[in-house]
Amino acid sequence: MTGPAPAGIRYVSTRADTGAGLPPGPRPRRRRGTLPRRLLAPLAAVTLLTLVGLGPLLAPHPPDRTVGPPWASPDGSTPLGTDALGRDVLSRVLAGGTGLLSLALVAALAAVLLGTAAGLWSGWAGGGAARRVAWVGDLLLAVPAPVLALVLATALSGASAVVTASVMAGAPLTARVVADEVAVLRRGGWVRAAVERGERAPAVLLREILPALRGLATADAGLRLVTALQLAAALSVLGLGPQPPAPDWALMLREGLPGTALNPAALLAPALALALCAWVLGAASRSAGRTGGAR
């Protein structure tokens, strides 16, 4: 186990939540869940991602055009009312997730890929290499991600700050979980058999161990995604993300706040959209973690 890390709790909950990465053998009972139930969250996630991706096309009005008076209450042509500039809130919500989610996806993917690579290597190599990787990881984890992102955002652009901070704060966590799992898996019979056959380490890692980590990595990616989404939204609310008139859920939160007395939907709609995305994606990755990982 690695040193006393501040994020140790997260690490434990990742494993407990996913239940993935157990050594091959009899799987736990919960694998026998009914099919529709098991697929509920992933299906919801796919639907949501499609909706967010196609959202700009579904918007009834151009998201940056004035269609009514400022802060108008919901009515027939504007089901969620209008915002500070009289723009249609529904159209803006539909158009406002693409950028945010793509950024979060890129950030999460980068963190998981780097973390998994580092975890595979240090878990396989063990000993001094593992300790060094853990040491670097602890060092990175000592800096709070939001602070890191804020500092980076002043030097780089908001988007690169989100990606960099997500990687620096996320990859070490992924690396830990993966390294631990690899250390267990390498003692497994089929891995030992492959080694006995004379296969080289990279081949064993790629062909034997990586597939067994599928569920774990998916579950972990979900967590990284939710964190990256929050980070991207936070920077955006602080004005370090997309600039007006871009429709962006987080920017809409800030823009909608002054009008809560007149049209609360301008604030609530993007807030719910953000919350729903984080929740559904988190749940989906967890259930994917449960079903995946088997050999």
Partner 1 sequence: MTPFLRRPRAARAVLSATAVCVLALAGCSTDPTDPDGSAGAPAASGADTTLRYAVAGSPATASDDPHGGLGNESDVLRFALVYDVLTVHGDDGGAEPRLATAWEPNETMDLWTFTLREDAEFTDGEPVRAGDVLHSLRRIGAKAAENYGRLADFDLENSRVVDEHTVELATRVPMANAPVALASITFVVPEGTEDFTGEVPGSGPYRVEESAADTTVLVRNDGWWGGTPDPGRIEIRALADPQTRVDALLSGAVDVAGSVAPTAVASAEEKDMRVVRRSGVTTYPFIMRTDTAPFDDPRVREAFRLAADREELVDTVFLGYGEVANDLPTPHDPSTPTDLPQREHDVETARELLAEAGHADGLTVTLHTTTSYPGMDTAATLYARQLEEIGVTAEVSVEPADDYWTTVYAQKPFYTGYYGGISFADLVRVGLLSESPTNETAYRSEEFDRGFEEAMATSDEARRDELLADIQRELWEDGGYVVWGTGDGIDLAAPHVHDLPDGPGFQRMFIDRVRLEG
Residues contributing to the site for partner 1 (CB under 8 A): 64, 66, 69-71, 84-86, 230, 233-234, 237-239, 243-245, 250, 253-255, 257-262, 271, 274-275, 278
Smallest gap from residue 100 Cβ to partner 1 (A): 11
Among candidates 214, 218, 109, 235, which has minimal Cα distance to 167? 109
Smallest gap from residue 239 Cβ to partner 1 (A): 5
Compute the distance between CA of residue 82 and CA of residue 72 in angstroms, rounded to an integer: 5
Closer residue to partner 1, CB minimum distance, 3 or 258: 258
Closer residue to partner 1, CB minimum distance, 56 or 70: 70
Closer residue to partner 1, CB minimum distance, 221 or 271: 271
Closer residue to partner 1, CB minimum distance, 9 or 35: 9
Closer residue to partner 1, CB minimum distance, 61 or 176: 61
| Residue spans of alpha helices (H) in the chain | 8-18, 35-58, 89-95, 98-125, 127-141, 145-155, 158-185, 189-196, 201-203, 210-212, 214-237, 249-256, 265-291
Smallest gap from residue 259 Cβ to partner 1 (A): 5
CB 130 within 8 A of CB 118: no
Helix (H, G, I), strand (E, B) or coil at 88: strand
* Bridge partners, residue 285, by sequence: none
Smallest gap from residue 90 Cβ to partner 1 (A): 19
Smallest gap from residue 73 Cβ to partner 1 (A): 11
Q: What are phi and psi of 71, to 5 degrees?
A: 60, 35
Buried b (16+ CB within 10 A) or exposed e, 118-146: bbbbbbbbeeeebeebbeebbebbeeebe
Q: What are phi and psi of 3, to 5 degrees?
A: -65, -175
CB 91 within 8 A of CB 58: no
Closer residue to partner 1, CB minimum distance, 116 or 285: 285
Compute the distance between CA of residue 198 and CA of residue 73 in angstroms, rounded to an integer: 71
Smallest gap from residue 157 Cβ to partner 1 (A): 12
Closer residue to partner 1, CB minimum distance, 66 or 102: 66
Smallest gap from residue 66 Cβ to partner 1 (A): 8
